[in-house]
Amino acid sequence: MTDLATPSGIAPGAAAAAPRGRAALRRAVPALLLFAAVRALGVVALALWGLADGKGARHLLSARWDSIWYARIAEQGYGYTLHLPGGKVHSDMAFFPLLPWLERLLSAVLPLSVPDAGLVVSAVASLCAAWGIFAVGDHLYGRRTGVALVVLWAALPVGVVQSMAYSESLFTALAAWSLYCLLTGRWVWAGAFAALAGLTRPVGAAVVAAVWITAAVALLRARRAPDPRPPLPRLLLGVALAPLGWLAYFAWVGARTGSVTGYLDVQGGWGNGFDGGLAFGSFVWERLAGPAFPAGLGLLAGVVLVLVLYRAGVRQGQPLPLLFFTGTVLLLALTAKGYFGSKPRLMMPAFPLLLPLAAALARLRTVRAVSVVTVVALASAVYGAFWLHGSGPP
């Protein structure tokens, strides 16, 4: 196999050297405990804020905005359409099926309502995501960096979404494990996780693309350095599996709508689509040129920060699968039109952006690192509570 643990390949024998099963879980325990602590802090802050605002944390996390659409699909199946003034048509086919399938399954086997089942799925998925993120960071830069990476991801300003009955945690878990499998040469597992990610969110295409481009580079490098060769049957099987979930849902929506572009038409009814970032750019400019100048400046600073972090990841020498996945997620998020308040949430699965910061945090002395993490976690908890008590969806 060629070396994908560097920007261009998979380290020979990496899959055999990687910890497995209980050993891998034991190694990840500190990261998982810290992740749970940060998220618990966020939920407590949300609940305390709700005491003054009259809004319960459970309702905010499980029964608002997209959560309602997922729960309705779980309870009634697809087929609900909401017609709004101005010509917008909101169809539930905009939402991919894996999360509502899991909500329906869990509420059928346990005494849970569908919204509560959504919270359980999200909680388990967020822990799986944290484990996968740790595995990537640990594999590339060591255990301390892996732990720091998980804590930073948990303490994102929009980290509260990880505790909501939304699909971001589920998608990030599947994407992280697919990327880890690519880094360690587990091609079939990488393809299987990519297929499930493709049933979770439209951006599952980014995971599929990461599998394909990584496989293509591995094959090209194998032609130049034929010994050792990549495991061709497993590689091809992983490549074939990767797009099945994403393609299956697009095909199903196309069949339901009677149009090859059915899913794109559904997104268009919501006012979503891709315009190269023109709508988002106009949105930022309107704020920079008006009384909301501070908000526009904050948005501009956020975009610049994201791009700087991506460049830092390139300079850090992140592997090709991570760079390609992150770049695709950012491209899809920043060039999409629609509700601009959701863009931070749409970029949340791009956890490799945090690797340069995690590596820097890991180099600090423990006392200083704990102080930094505490401040960041508190700020995230307060911001998350403020955000969810606002009028618009995250």
Mean pLDDT along residues 376-389: 94
Burial of residue 382, with CB atoms counted within 10 A of its CB: 0-12 exposed, 13-18 middle, 19 or more buried: middle
Task: Return the percentage of the chain with pLDDT > 90, whole number.
Answer: 73
Would you state the pLDDT for residue 85? 83
Bridge partners (DSSP) listed for residue 81: 91
What is the band of 244 on the pLDDT scale with cuts at 50, 70, 90? very high
Would you state the pLDDT for residue 7? 40
Q: Within 13 Å of residue 102, how many CA atoms lie on the same side as its CB?
A: 21
Distance CA 373, CA 77 (A): 42
Radius of gyration of the chain measured on its C-alpha atoms: 21
Sign of the dihedral through C-alpha 96, 97, 102, 103: positive
Distance CA 79, CA 130 (A): 34
- DSSP letter (8 states) at residue 6: B
Strands 81-83 vs 89-91: parallel, antiparallel or unpaired: antiparallel
* Average pLDDT over all residues of the chain: 91
Distance CA 284, CA 301 (A): 11
DSSP codes, 49-113: HHHHHT--HHHHHHSSTHHHHHHHHHHH-S--EEE-TTS-EEEGGGS-SHHHHHHHHHHHHSS--
What is the band of 4 on the pLDDT scale with cuts at 50, 70, 90? low
Bridge partners (DSSP) listed for residue 337: 273
Would you state the pLDDT for residue 116? 96
Would you state the pLDDT for residue 390? 79
Q: Which long-range contacts (CB under 8 A, 24 or more apart) does 261-267 make?
A: 262/93, 263/93, 263/94, 263/202, 266/91, 266/93, 266/94, 267/94, 267/202
Would you state the pLDDT for residue 351? 98
Q: What is the pLDDT of residues 104-135, one digit of tens each?
A: 999 999 999 999 999 999 999 999 999 999 99
What is the band of 13 on the pLDDT scale with cuts at 50, 70, 90? very low
Distance CA 7, CA 221 (A): 13
Q: Which residues, including other chains, have CB under 8 Å from residue 200's CB and lie 6 or more apart?
A: 96, 98, 99, 167, 170, 171, 174, 245
pLDDT above 70 (res 15): no
Q: Which residues, including other chains, have CB under 8 Å from residue 157's CB and lie 6 or more apart?
A: 344, 379, 380, 383, 384, 387
Q: What is the pLDDT of residues 246-264, one digit of tens each?
A: 999 999 999 999 999 999 9
Mean pLDDT along residues 275-297: 84
Q: Which residues, including other chains, have CB under 8 Å from residue 360's CB and lie 6 or more apart?
A: none
Bridge partners (DSSP) listed for residue 91: 81
pLDDT above 50 (res 60): yes
Would you state the pLDDT for residue 227? 60
Q: Which two tokens stand for residue 136?
A: 């990537």
Would you state the pLDDT for residue 228? 67
SS3 390: coil
pLDDT above 50 (res 10): no
Q: Report how many helices (DSSP H) and strands (DSSP E) the chain contains, helices first.
A: 19, 4
Mean pLDDT along residues 164-191: 97
Task: Give this prediction's pTM.
Answer: 0.93
Distance CA 111, CA 119 (A): 14
Name the one residue in this structure whose structure tokens are 């880094």: 183
Would you state the pLDDT for residue 391? 72
182 with 321: CB under 8 angstroms?
yes
Provide the residue type at 204 as one letter: G
| Among the listed residues 195, 353, 337, 194, the one whose alpha carbon sits nearest the alpha carbon of residue 270 | 337
Mean pLDDT along residues 44-63: 89
Q: What is the pLDDT of residues 325-363, one digit of tens each?
A: 999 999 999 998 877 778 899 999 999 999 999 999 999
What is the band of 283 on the pLDDT scale with cuts at 50, 70, 90? confident
Phi/psi class of residue 271: alpha, beta or left (left: φ > 0; alpha: ψ in -120 to 50)? left
The rounded Cα 222 to chain-centroid distance in angstroms is 31
Which is more confidently placed, 325 or 271? 325
Longest CA span, the chain: 66
